[in-house]
Chain A
Amino acid sequence: MARAQRGDQHAYEEIVDRYSQLAFRTAYLVTGSAADAEDAAQEGFVKAWAALPGFRTGSPPRPWLMRIVANEARNRRRSAGRREHLQLRLAEGFRTADAAPSPEAEAVAAEERQSLLRALNGLREDDRLVIGCRYFMELSGEETAAVLGCPEGTVKSRLSRALDRLKERLEVARA
């Protein structure tokens, strides 16, 4: 990061490489569209390069980068007239990591995951995003706040409200 700040473009490319997936997937969670996410991540990295002189030396680059990328992603989501609604789904060919004791148990586990996904997909965008940031992307509180565009202090309460609403949906589905 220090080398990048001194104008070393190659060093900055290493940073782009390292955070590409994180930036792209987070932008995807925000925009719900792969094309918008690519756009936002690319634009974010280009803007971050221009903003490097203002980066506080020694502080972690991740939250700073996430803030810039997420800002681009939110702008795209806002400006897209018809918002693509992100539908979470399992990766193709996915098998549960834990060796299921029996085919029946595997089927039950798979069904549980599907109902969890359905409940998640039924949540409000904001709720799903805060859950996505914290659990799927494993972002810190600071990084999640950057993505949501809210103060760090409100992440915890937002997350717990989102989890409550998710639980409600799961219970309704089970009933």
Chain B
Amino acid sequence: MPELEAVLSGLGAELYFPPTPDLRQAVRRRLAPAPRPWWQSRWALAAAAALLLAAAAVLAIPQARDTVAGWLGLRGVTIQRQPGPLPTPTPRPPGPLGERLQLGDRVTLAEARATVRWRLRLPFQLDEPDEVYYSNRPAGGGVYLVYGSRPGIPVASETGVAVLVGEFQGRADQNLFLKGVGPGTTVEQVTVNGLPGIWVSGAPHQFFYTDPDGRVQMETLRLATNTLLWTSQDGVLYRIEASVTKQQALAIAESMR
């Protein structure tokens, strides 16, 4: 080997390189599968299987998929009629409120605020939430506010939760939220703080969304109760689930600051 090349070979070991970071940890965090959704737990397996079949049937009809979002002007939300009745959620096993719903990691309000990229809004009418959860799904993260018992609001028999508020970053083209609606469910267009929203009441319903890789994910069937959905001007999708009337739900939504 000519002299210069020999010197260059030797130089490699003498050069300064910044310390190599712990890539294994970083990569592991990014590869870690999302926490096992509650519907995969044994007690709900049969129901989940039925739901997935229903979802597959619905998603096979492309033109139905984009209808309602259009007339509602609601970014990232699609509502759709399911062909048949949906299974009723089975009673849930005992345990702490939000944990039973597998909402993600239990965090403090301050931690949730520090983690998400949007400004968290809380319904002041309900006072402070009893529990706060952060989930790394969908992409961009989601925060759930859990309210155990509030005057005038019945507690869901399966969960012990009165109100569940979800906040997500709804990127319309990436995370399509799809709502599966069975017969016996009413869907109504409403106005929430001057913004278009939808009120879904009646029989149980589910959420679906398409993740950034284009896979359809079943997001929730949390309280299996009435739901108010709307998107704020800054692109945050809000969801209030509770066994309340439309007026009650709108009042909760309008108290969000």
Contacts and interface: CB of A to CB of B under 8 A. Distances in A.
B4 interface: yes
In which size bucket is the chain A interface? 35 or more
A167 B7 CA distance: 12
Contacts of B27: 13, 16, 42, 45-46, 49
A167 B14 contact: no
Given A92-B16, A116-B7, A163-B5, A16 B24 contact: yes
28 contacts: A9-B31, A12-B31, A13-B24, A16-B27, A17-B24, A20-B21, A23-B23, A24-B17, A24-B20, A25-B17, A25-B20, A38-B23, A41-B21, A42-B21, A42-B23, A42-B30, A46-B31, A89-B16, A90-B15, A90-B16, A91-B16, A92-B16, A116-B11, A117-B11, A131-B8, A136-B11, A137-B12, A138-B12
Contacts of B10: 97
B23 A135 contact: no
A16 B24 CA distance: 6
Interface residues of B, number: 24
B9 interface: yes
Interface of B, secondary structure class, is helix
Contacts of B16: 88-92
A1 to B, nearest CB: 15
A12 B24 CA distance: 9
A15 B242 CA distance: 48
Contacts of B28: 9, 13
B18 interface: yes
Contacts of A135: 5, 8-9, 11-12
Interface of B: 4-5, 7-18, 20-24, 26-28, 30-31
Contacts of B18: 28, 34, 37
A94 B230 CA distance: 62
Interface of A, secondary structure class, is helix
A136 B17 CA distance: 11
A38 to B, nearest CB: 5
A138 to B, nearest CB: 7
Given A89-B15, A116-B11, A135-B12, A46 B30 contact: yes
A113 B13 CA distance: 13
B170 to A, nearest CB: 25
Given A94-B14, A97-B13, A116-B11, 18 more contacts: A9-B31, A13-B24, A17-B23, A24-B17, A25-B17, A25-B20, A42-B27, A46-B30, A46-B31, A91-B15, A91-B16, A113-B14, A135-B5, A136-B8, A136-B15, A137-B12, A138-B9, A167-B4
